[in-house]
Chain A
Amino acid sequence: MIDINLTLNGKKISDQVDADSVLLDFLRDHDCYSVKRGCETSNCGLCTVLMDGMPVLSCSMLTVRADGHSIQTLEGLQEEASSFVGFIADQGADQCGFCNPGFVMNTIALLRENPDPTDDEIRAFLAGNLCRCSGYEGQLRGIRNYLNSRVKE
């Protein structure tokens, strides 16, 4: 077992992990159930979390590599997410909703990096978030409506 210290959603955590433990399992063991298990081979984006503010796939990140870093999951970013998730819901974009947390996490990363993205920039940034139920148009319209609402303010 290896000792690690990290910050999870603002709280300092010390723990011991196996050499091959991945962050996805560690986070779910620490009650972050927004982090979903999908493909586990870095294809679907369901397990997206922020490491030092940067979106990464927790299914493919060794937990030991989070040692000394700050990890944020949707549990810790409710307020930031609340500004735009209603717009996506208004479009009825989600159906089963399983892809939603990863999608929201990556949208947070997108809007931090590029607060005023074009539709093509949104599509490009979110290309690694797969949704099995929808055709992505509802999510895109939701984000667009949110951006338009900000312009009016």
Chain B
Amino acid sequence: MITFQKYVKVQSLDEAYELNKTRKNRIIGGMMWLRTGRGSVNTAIDISGLGLDTIEEDDEEFKIGAMVSLRKIEKHEGLNSYSNNAVQSAVKDIVGVQFRNMATVGGSIWGRFGFSDVLTVFLAMDTYVELHNAGIVPLSEFVNMKRDDDILVRIIVKKTPIKISYSAVRAQRTDFPVLACAVSEFDGMYKTTIGARPGKAILIKDEDGIMAAGITSDSAKAYADYVASHTPTDSNLRGSAEYRTHLTKVLTERNLLRIGGIE
């Protein structure tokens, strides 16, 4: 188990950022993932006193504080009505209610975990990450940025009109997903995100315009094949690369038909 020498509940993001520059110090979110790690941390930097546990919603966007729990986004009416319950679908099977009361959106996105349902669903939306030092960057860029000593302050989801559907396959209800998939359409572009490949979520856009004439069973199949051929998969104890590629096709097609109202 991870151990800490010191604990500081910071008064400001600047204070947290300064402390986080020291390599042996760590920001703590819900601490669920950190807790499973080993080693010794010098100072645990707690940002829970900075009011980052709220979801602000206006006409343009949702601002989700880094310390907002997964349970809060699961139950947030505005976010779920905007995303056609995709957010709820993505988090509802993450361990249990008690767990989701503690695990945070900030820790989930910051971690850029391969298995992440959370990253997979937000990557399929018009999402940005607000970093204390680097400012606001699209989530699609953040996914590929190196982990540094910055602090994730909020994630911002623009209320761009969207169609979206999420599904994942799990061997057992509360286990990590074998594969996670979201399909969305906004700004005239179809997008698919595949997580738990088992690598971290990847975003595949319909660059070839396969869906240009809209969703039919034929175009859905062709696009699902396109996504699968652009998605690297690998094997681990939850599933083989071949199985994951097969699931990529099935879930992409299924989500697509769902947003087209065909299934």
Say yes or no for B7: interface residue by CB 8 A criterion. yes
Q: Are A60 and B92 in contact (CB under 8 A)?
A: no
Q: How far is the CA of A125 from the CA of B7 in the complex (A)?
A: 32
Q: Which of B1-21 contact A (CB under 8 A)?
A: 1-7, 9
Annotate B115-129 by CB proximity to A: 1 below 8 A, 0 otherwise: 000000000000000
| Minimum CB–CB distance for B242 against chain A, Å | 29
Q: Are B173 and A2 in contact (CB under 8 A)?
A: no
Q: How far is the CA of A64 from the CA of B43 in the complex (A)?
A: 13
A45 and B31 in contact (CB under 8 A), knowing A20-B2, A65-B46, A127-B174?
no
A43 and B95 in contact (CB under 8 A), knowing A19-B7, A54-B101, A56-B102?
yes
Among B2, B4, B30, B97, which residue has its beta carbon within 8 angstroms of that of A128?
B97
Which residue of chain B is the closest to A110 with respect to CB atoms?
B97
Q: How far is the CA of A8 from the CA of B247 in the complex (A)?
A: 48
Say yes or no for B209: interface residue by CB 8 A criterion. no
Q: Are B97 and A125 in contact (CB under 8 A)?
A: yes
Say yes or no for A42: interface residue by CB 8 A criterion. yes
| Minimum CB–CB distance for B40 against chain A, Å | 9
- Which B residues are in CB contact (< 8 Å) with A106? 96-98
- Which A residues are in CB contact (< 8 Å) with B174? 127-128
Q: Are A19 and B102 in contact (CB under 8 A)?
A: no
| Minimum CB–CB distance for B16 against chain A, Å | 16
- Which A residues are in CB contact (< 8 Å) with B3? 20
Q: Are B97 and A109 in contact (CB under 8 A)?
A: yes
Q: How far is the CA of A116 from the CA of B92 in the complex (A)?
A: 20
Q: Which of A44-99 contact B (CB under 8 A)?
A: 45, 48, 54-57, 59-62, 64-65
A60 and B31 in contact (CB under 8 A), knowing A19-B5, A65-B46, A127-B173?
yes
| Minimum CB–CB distance for B118 against chain A, Å | 16
Say yes or no for B230: interface residue by CB 8 A criterion. no
Which residue of chain A is the closest to B3 with respect to CB atoms?
A20
Interface of A: prevailing SS? mixed
Task: Give the A interface residue count (CB, 8 A).
Answer: 28
- Which B residues are in CB contact (< 8 Å) with A61? 31, 102
A65 and B48 in contact (CB under 8 A), knowing A19-B7, A128-B174?
yes
Which residue of chain B is the closest to A43 with respect to CB atoms?
B95
- Which B residues are in CB contact (< 8 Å) with A34? none
A40 and B95 in contact (CB under 8 A), knowing A60-B31, A61-B102?
no
Which residue of chain B is the closest to A47 with respect to CB atoms?
B98
Q: Which of B30-53 contact A (CB under 8 A)?
A: 30-32, 35-36, 44, 46, 48
Q: Are A57 and B4 in contact (CB under 8 A)?
A: no
Q: Which of A93-148 contact B (CB under 8 A)?
A: 106, 109-110, 124-129
Say yes or no for B99: interface residue by CB 8 A criterion. yes
- Which B residues are in CB contact (< 8 Å) with A126? 96
Say yes or no for A14: interface residue by CB 8 A criterion. no
Say yes or no for B234: interface residue by CB 8 A criterion. no
Q: Are A41 and B36 in contact (CB under 8 A)?
A: yes
- Which B residues are in CB contact (< 8 Å) with A2? 7
- The 13 listed contacts between A and B (C-beta, < 8 Å) are A20-B3, A20-B4, A42-B36, A42-B99, A45-B98, A55-B97, A56-B98, A57-B102, A60-B35, A65-B46, A127-B95, A127-B96, A129-B96
Top 7 nearest A-B pairs (CB, nearest first) are A128-B96, A19-B7, A20-B4, A55-B98, A19-B4, A60-B35, A41-B36
Inter-chain pairs besides A106-B98, A110-B97, 11 sampled, C-beta below 8 Å: A19-B6, A42-B32, A42-B35, A42-B95, A45-B96, A55-B97, A56-B102, A57-B98, A61-B31, A127-B96, A128-B96
